[in-house]
Amino acid sequence: MTRAGVASATPLAWLDDVERQRRAAGLRRSLRPRTPGTADVDLASNDYLGLSQHPQVIEAGIDALRTWGAGSTGSRLVTGDTELHEQFEVDLAEFVGAPAALVFSSGYAANIGAVVALSGPDALVVSDAYSHASLVDACRLSRARVVVSPHRDVDAVEAALASRSEERALVITDSVFSADGALAPLARLHEVCRRHGAVLLVDEAHGLGVRGRGGRGLLDEVGLAGEPDIVMTTTLSKALGSQGGVVLGAVAVREHLIDAARTFIFDTGLAPAAVGAASAALRLLAERPALADAVLDHARALADMCDVVEEPQSAVVSVILGDPDVAVAAATACAERGVRVGCFRPPTVPAGTSRLRLTARASLTDHELSRAREVLTDVLRARE
């Protein structure tokens, strides 16, 4: 008996009720491990340039592994920093047109570290309603006053900035929104931020390698690369086919993050093998700027085969089916026929907009596209 005089039960019994509720709502998730050498057509991964399997990228990761060992052995402030990390930061900053860069262990850690370190109790943070979960969590940890602005609503951002009482303000947005592939109105956002003395933080996770000159990102495309009041974050796990995260901006921003970003100070540094692989992928992207064009070409082909009316602006093609059970069934049917697609349901997307999320890769072959058309056409027609 408990002190309250009722029969004791495990303190985690509430998880059973939550699991039943999720299952009833069609929101139960499960892991689906891949096997080596799968012959599936991959329309689900974020390997936009197909570089995760490139021989030069793999070999560079192996070389770094042999040179530096399996792990970085500690925080970058202790033993986890290598010449490889520092050189990659220089190379990536030069590629995207930023003054400086700082590598974190993941894109999630980079976003949390940057937002928290650049805000605080005496700041206002304005975040797009569709910002990535890592930015949402960063807002919650920031201790700042947070205003969530409607999706891509520049007027709402300006209203929040104009009425603020805080001395400092930070506006945060994805450059390319991960669920639907839409582009943020970066030029207008920057005009508003500059008018009101705010910093604009842009997550280029889905922009790097796809938008801009030779894949330099949407900030480059709209002429904002290297602006002193812009901070860029990105991940190495998408277009660069590796793992890790980066914050890019003014030298003063890099120095501040080294002193203040807890996800940098207290986290083990990114493994050298991941840095080596990302470095090789960056070199390949710089040498082959047409890779970015191929991503968009293939995205348009995927949209066409799914009767998506709006032309894709990124690697992401969103096929809205509405009901979560319908979306899961469609994704399962595709997988059973050898085509892997993403399936996004609430809370990742708003209720009533569950969808298949297809991602284009530069390395898709004509045969893979033909197979994808056959399967997607059949699966989507069966659900009409």
Output the domain CATH number for residue 194.
3.40.640.10
**pLDDT for residue 27:** 85
Print burial letters for 128-147: b (CB count within 10 Å at least 16), e (below 16): bebbbebbbebbeebebbbb
Pairing mode of beta strands 316-322, 354-359:
antiparallel
Residues 190 and 77 in one domain: yes
Structural domain contains residue 27: no
pLDDT, tens digit (0-9, with 9 covering 90-100), for 15-38? 999 999 999 888 888 888 887 867
Give mean pLDDT, residues 64-79. Answer: 97
pLDDT over 60 at 92, yes or no: yes
Rg of the chain in Å (alpha carbons): 22
Q: Looking at residue 8, what is its pLDDT? A: 59
Domain presence at residue 12: no
Q: What is the largest CA-CA distance in the chain?
A: 72
The verdict on 174 and 260 lying in the same domain is yes
Residue 112 confidence (pLDDT) above 50: yes
In a domain, 25, yes or no: no
Q: What angle do CA 297, 301, 305 make, to 5 degrees?
A: 170
pLDDT of residue 33: 82
What is the C-alpha to C-alpha distance for residues 89 and 104, in angstroms, rounded to an integer? Answer: 11
| pLDDT computed for residue 9 by the predictor | 79
Cα–Cα distance between 169 and 197 in angstroms, integer? Answer: 7
Q: Are residues 199 and 226 in the same domain?
A: yes
Rounded to an integer, what distance in angstroms lies between the CA atom of residue 154 and that of residue 126? 11
Given 287, 322, 350, the domain boundary residue is 287
Residue 108 tokens, joined: 């999630």
Residue 243 inside a domain? The answer is yes
Query: In 119-238, which ranges are E strands?
Result: 123-128, 145-149, 168-174, 199-203, 230-235
Total domains, the chain: 2
Query: What is the rounded distance in angstroms from the CA atom of residue 288 to the CA atom of residue 312?
Result: 22
In a domain, 42, yes or no: yes
Same domain, 246 and 334: no
> The domain spanning residue 48 has which CATH number?
3.90.1150.10
What domain range is 326 assigned to?
35-52+289-381
- From 230, 183, 254, 238, select the one nearest 205 (Cα to Cα): 238
Residue 255 forms part of a structural domain:
yes
Same-domain pairing of 241 and 309? no
Is 295 found in the same domain as 153? no
| For residues 238-263, average pLDDT | 98
Q: Residue 104: which of 205, 190, 213 has the closest Cα?
A: 205
Residue count (the chain)? 384
* DSSP 8-state secondary structure symbol assigned to residue 51: G
43 and 62 within one domain: no
311 falls within a domain: yes
In whole angstroms, give the CA distance from residue 92 to residue 100: 9
- In this structure, are 115 and 98 located in the same domain? yes
Q: Do 299 and 318 belong to one domain? A: yes
Picking from 269, 287, 305, the residue at the C-terminal end of a domain is: 287
Domain boundary among 287, 320, 336: 287
Identify whether the C-beta of residue 226 lies closer than 8 Å to the C-beta of residue 212.
no
Instruction: Note the pLDDT of residue 1.
Output: 43
Same-domain status, 199 and 334? no
- C-alpha 191/C-alpha 138 separation (Å) is 24
Burial annotation 283-294 (CB, 10 A radius, 16+ → b, else e)? ebbeeeeebbeb
Residues 195 and 104 reside in one and the same domain: yes
| Residue spans of beta strands (DSSP E) within 19-77 | 41-43
Residue 4: inside a domain, yes or no?
Answer: no
Share of the chain above pLDDT 90, in %: 90
203 and 59 share one domain: yes
Q: Is the pLDDT of residue 299 over 70?
A: yes
pTM over 0.75: yes
